[in-house]
Structure 1
Amino acid sequence: MIFNTNLNAIATYQAGKPIEEVIRVYGIDAKNIIKLASNENPYGCSPLVSQAICANASKVSLYPDDSMVDLKEALAKKYNLNAEHFIIGAGSDQIIEFCIRAKCQQDSKILMAKTTFAMYEIYAKQSGCQIIKTKSDMHNLKEFKELYRMHHPDIIFLCVPNNPLGECLDFSEVHDFLKEIDKNTLVVLDGAYQEYATYRDVNKAILVDVVQEFENVVYLKTFSKIYGLGGMRLGYGIASEMIMEYLYKIRPPFNVSSLSLLCGIEALKDENFIQKSLEQNAIEMQKYEIFAQENKIKYIESFTNFITFFLENQKCKSSEIAEFLMQNGVIIRDLKSYGLNAIRITIGTLEQNLKVFSLLKEKIS
């Protein structure tokens, strides 16, 4: 049987291992497993969300409101924009797919950082696009500019902050970069971790006005991280009405469930939960930085809810450490698939992080 030949060049995306798999493989009791691999909020979600799910469980038999007007209006109020500037997806990665399918054709060119969110490349290859990457792992806008002038790509992806490394460009740098890009190139600003970045440094904040100033920009956000709704698969894109006209031609009907839409609406109401989550993340992040410094582990200053440890100075490879931690009930992300001897660890709760430090110390000593 012959399939889409573009798929031959694609490696299947490897998500963080689920708790259920660790239970099956290692026989560890679920209550003794800590998942710090997928950058979920370790404090769960707002109580308002949990209450809404229980109160509306009967709605699962009905198709959702395909206009999604209630959530779009809630987002419009949050950002002081018109509802027409928003599109809702099953996670922000679905909006990434919409962008590529709407803008690209066979052999279109897409520019991205060497080490960044894997789904940019996967969706691009599905459409038969050419991938252009910087030499630097992190976002180097000088290299981006050089490659842009050389290749004139159809889409540029900027991950701000960047997953899986954690670094983040200042908005002023992004803004200056956008001024140099022609209007026929779509620029996707992926802000999945923007709440964390803004909390740590206000200079990192992507101002939503950017989509009005630059009609070729799509700004992506998600409910999967700080809002704690990873299991609901809910994200959104913000862009000019001109871009939205084409993205909506790609969006399938009923692509987001009724409960997911409701959870997003309720999550937006609870600013207190968001603030507490940000505060705790900052406190625990500092402990990881201190641990790295004390144990001579190289790391990147992170503007997210995870930290990346580089292990060049350690006697263990990233795969060995990841396996050791998993055997002891701690799931992290091995970055070997990115060609890095590094691990990415979601910042957990105080209790979870103490266990991580203890196990890491045991393994690298």
Structure 2
Amino acid sequence: MKWKPQIESLKAYQPGKTMEDVQKLYKLEKVVKLASNENPFGCSANVQKYLQETALSQAIYPDGYAKDLRLKVAEHLSVEPTQLIFGNGSDEVIEMIARALLDSGNNTVMATPTFPQYKHNAIVEGAEVREVPLDLKGKHQLGRMLKEIDDSTSVVWLCSPNNPTGEYIRHNELVSFLNSVPPHVLVVLDEAYFEYVVAEDYYDSLELLKSYPQLLITRTFSKAYGLAGFRVGYGIGSHEVISKLEPIREPFNNNSLGQGAAASAIEDQAFIKECSEQNREGLNQYYRFCEENQLHYIPSQANFILIDFGVNGDEVFTFLMSKGFIVRSGQALGYPNSVRVTVGSQEQNEEVIEKMKEFLKELKKTK
């Protein structure tokens, strides 16, 4: 078989151990997952009501255009319905972009470390990947990224807030960057954690879209909306950009339940506001822990925090997992001495912080 040579070195996505796996492995009564940046408060009551009251025919295809969801999202964002494209999670929107714009004759620019699917999809399409390291504070080095752009660049990826650091791009930085990017380059602004941002100097991407038609914004219902299991994401762009991507989209790519759940969820912005406030309180719990124990961390605008323990992140990961808390080791994220922890409920945060303190005590004994 004639496989693409560039996929020979690729590895399939490796999900972490399930809660059930960890429970059996360590014979635990309770396991808390704080590894995938899911919403610890679940989803809006609107969604539960929708699921209870809706009867769908499993034999009928979903609405391929996602009309009801499209209209509600368009109204919420004050954009035209034709400015939206929906995906099986924002992952699929990223895949559509790569498939439409990247090939062996061009290149793409991104930060590192960042969300790995940008690079993964670029490699699949055979494009040259140009990576610019984040600075010591976990920020995009936009000036250096600009220097990597040339006539063969098709896409630039910006993740803000960035995964795994939680850092964000400031309004003035982004405007300056967009003013310098050539018009032939699509700038993808990944805002998966947009709903958690509280920084006053964060940009208004929808307003910027009016002045920069080569901008494409991606968002998701998997994080703050608590609908990760339904896999609904979307892109917002100019009519021209969206019309080029639509033929790439798989037909019927959003299932009926996911469309209805997302349409119900977006109507409850009070729930999103409450989750954002609880998230900010949770982050403060981790900030206090880090400062009390002289641990380096990056202040986050997302629903997770990256904490540097000064030792192999796998050690921290394994210790916490043995105590019933699944986090994400920084070994696979470009920060080998860190772990990334999803902000949970107040109780979950308190519990995992206590186990982190136990780890630090054990660490001191070995030194």
TM-score for both structures, normalised by structure 1: 0.94
1:353 aligns with 2:349: yes
Greater CA drift, 204-213 or 233-242: 204-213
Q: Which residue of 2 aligns with 1:22?
A: 22
Counterpart CA distance in 2 for 1:108 and 1:19 is: 42
- Could you list the runs of 4 or more consecutive aligned residues of structure 1 that deviate by over 6 angstroms after TM superposition? none
Of 224, 231, 235, the match for 2:233: 235
Unaligned runs of 5+ in 2: 362-367
Cα deviation for residue 107 of structure 1 reads 4.0
Amino acid at match of 2:350: L
Residue by residue, what CA displacement relative to the aligned partner does 1:270-318 show, whole Å, maximum 9, x if unpaired? 1111111111111111110010011111000100000000122xxx421
After TM superposition, the structure 1 = structure 2 runs for residues 1-365 of structure 1, keeping only pairs within 5 Å, are 1-29=1-29, 32-136=30-134, 138=138, 139-148=140-149, 152-197=152-197, 200-312=198-310, 316-340=311-335, 341-365=337-361
Between Structure 1 and Structure 2, the one with more helix by share is: 1
Amino acid at match of 1:55: E
SS of residue paired to 1:292:
helix
SS of residue paired to 1:60:
coil
SS of residue paired to 1:209:
helix
Question: Identity of aligned pairs, percent?
Answer: 34
- For the 8 Å contact 1:16–1:38, the answer to whether it is kept is no
- Closer/same/farther in 2, CA of residues 253 and 302 from structure 1, 3 Å limit: same
- Closer/same/farther in 2, CA of residues 57 and 363 from structure 1, 3 Å limit: farther
Counterpart CA distance in 1 for 2:240 and 2:24 is: 49
Report the aligned-residue RMSD: 1.5
- For the 8 Å contact 2:106–2:152, the answer to whether it is kept is no
- For the 8 Å contact 2:74–2:80, the answer to whether it is kept is yes
TM-score for both structures, normalised by structure 2: 0.93
Amino acid at match of 1:351: E
- For the 8 Å contact 2:113–2:133, the answer to whether it is kept is no
Cα deviation for residue 104 of structure 1 reads 1.4
Unaligned runs of 5+ in 1: none
Counterpart CA distance in 2 for 1:21 and 1:172 is: 46
The number of residue pairs the alignment matches comes to 357
Counterpart CA distance in 2 for 1:183 and 1:17 is: 44
Cα deviation for residue 339 of structure 1 reads 3.5
- For the 8 Å contact 1:194–1:205, the answer to whether it is kept is no
Cα deviation for residue 216 of structure 1 reads 1.0
Counterpart CA distance in 1 for 2:286 and 2:37 is: 15
Amino acid at match of 2:312: K
Residue by residue, what CA displacement relative to the aligned partner does 1:80-101 show, whole Å, maximum 9, x if unpaired? 1110000010101110011111
SS of residue paired to 2:266:
helix
